[in-house]
Amino acid sequence: MSNISIFDLDKGVSLGLIKNEKFKSNLISIYFARNLKREEATKVSLLSNMLSVGTMKYPTMRDISRRLDELYGMSMNVGVSKHGEKALTYFKFLSVSDKYLDEPIFEEVVDFINEIVSNPLVIDNKLNPDMFDIEKEILKDEINSKINDKRSYASLRCIEAMCYDEPYSIDQVGYVEDLKSITAENMYEMYKEFIATSRIFITVEGDFDEKEAHKICHDKFKFDRGNIENIERERFDIVPHDPTYLTEIIGANQGKLVIGYRTGVDYKDYENYYSLMVGNSLFGGGPHSKLFNNVREKESICYYASSVLEKCKGLMIVSSGIEVNNYERALELITKELQDVINGNFSEEDVDNSKKSILNALKASYDSVSGESDFTYNQFISGTNLEIEEVINYVSNVDKESIVRSMANIFEDTVYYLR
């Protein structure tokens, strides 16, 4: 297993060094965390794109691309995601390890990353005015295209309805109506606020000299910090209520039935949470699950049917594709399968298959490029700080009784039907 060390670099800035020899590359990732806010979601989403298309030293995308090539084909990946009710912006840079080069480039790589994040192209207090309108249009197209993927669109709409008065309902990609009021000037103000107040976590993953990496990161990454945001904890104590039923008609050839459940399980309650994870896997987490074998295969009601946990929000979301006239039957069968799991109507073999599925997926993800960095960051930002071996042990120790206990308080919150 890797050797992982975490250090404080500055106020609200942490560094994780993940030493391993799995790949011939080093991955440097920078994660910015903020509370999800409706008024800044679109700006933050646009900002992530703006920072990757021009800096004071490399003002054009051609200049940036040329520099990436000079650094032996280094790649750059930028995006936004949601972690519970936290908005995450990430920058990932994959480069060849110095171990496989005639001359070291690690320090040059860090210089380039720092240039991208800390020195954006600003002209007359405007953030990259030449690219601003172009990037706004690209983001507008991205937002408008979400409806083209009906499966993910339906899940998004269900969550929006389910959490309508909670920050989790906010779409981290942004809103078209908000783009109108965003200017290159107020984007520069947003950038300064973003750098000053976000919680920042930097990871270096790969085969490198730890002392050298720590010194270079400490010396190079200097952010203009202010009052750091207090990242708020999500609530898990939602009072059960009668479910809400919603139907949206768009003339689709295939219906999308999404059911949102509240689990009431806090991810810091490790035994309960990992028991719930296995229970969810057994219910709808893959080809071994009840939804797949009974609803999809045996009853042939759904083209697909699966369930996922929203770990940091205490939700379980069932997503299914059905014939338009099979809505009531599909809802009935999905509800029955969940009730069977809650009542303990499953075998030890079901439990074993579910645990194997989770452990195989966990190990595959952990062994991928960026897997350890993302795992380390997710543990850090959640305040759990578990090691991979501890997670494996929690999953391995789950049994039938603990699954039933963990799922005892699940209730149906919202049923959304797109047709």
Give the tens place of pLDDT for each residue, 319-340. Answer: 999 999 999 999 999 999 999 9
**Residue 1: pLDDT over 80:** no
- Per-residue tokens: 358: 């989770």
In the prediction, which pLDDT does 235 show? Answer: 87
Sign of the four-CA dihedral 64, 70, 71, 76? positive
- 3-27 mean pLDDT: 93
- 213-227 mean pLDDT: 96
Most distant pair of Cα atoms in the chain: their distance? 67
In the prediction, which pLDDT does 346 show? Answer: 97
Q: What share of the chain is helix, strand, coil (3-state, %, to 5)?
A: 45, 25, 30
Q: What is the CA radius of gyration of the chain?
A: 23
In the prediction, which pLDDT does 267 show? Answer: 95
pLDDT, tens digit (0-9, with 9 covering 90-100), for 108-124: 999 999 999 999 999 99
355/282 Cα distance (integer angstroms): 9
391/338 Cα distance (integer angstroms): 25
- Which string of b and e fits 236-272 if b means at least 16 CB within 10 Å? bebeeeeeeeeeeeeeeeebbbbbbbbbbbbbeeeeb
Domains recognised in the chain with CATH numbers: 3-220 (3.30.830.10), 244-418 (3.30.830.10)
Per the CB < 8 A criterion, the answer to whether 37 and 167 are in contact is: yes
- 410-415 mean pLDDT: 98
**Residue 144: pLDDT over 80:** yes
- 339-355 mean pLDDT: 97
pLDDT, tens digit (0-9, with 9 covering 90-100), for 78-92: 999 999 999 999 999
The pLDDT confidence band at residue 238, using thresholds 50, 70 and 90, is: confident
**Tokens 């005639």 found at:** 102
pLDDT, tens digit (0-9, with 9 covering 90-100), for 270-304: 999 999 999 999 999 999 999 999 999 999 999 99
Per the CB < 8 A criterion, the answer to whether 306 and 285 are in contact is: yes
188/115 Cα distance (integer angstroms): 16
Q: For helices 106-118 and 210-220, what crossing angle results, to 10°?
A: 30
With residue 306 as reference, give the H or E element that holds it. Answer: strand 302-310
- 259-277 mean pLDDT: 97
The pLDDT confidence band at residue 101, using thresholds 50, 70 and 90, is: very high
Whole-angstrom CA distances from 114 to 56, 61, 92, 111, 119 are 12, 16, 12, 5, 7
HSE at residue 220, side-chain half, CA atoms within 13 A, is: 21
In the prediction, which pLDDT does 379 show? Answer: 92
- Per-residue tokens: 205: 């993953």
Mean model confidence pLDDT for the chain: 96
- 343-363 mean pLDDT: 96
**Residue 41: pLDDT over 70:** yes
**Residue 186: pLDDT over 80:** yes
In the prediction, which pLDDT does 354 show? Answer: 98
HSE at residue 58, side-chain half, CA atoms within 13 A, is: 22
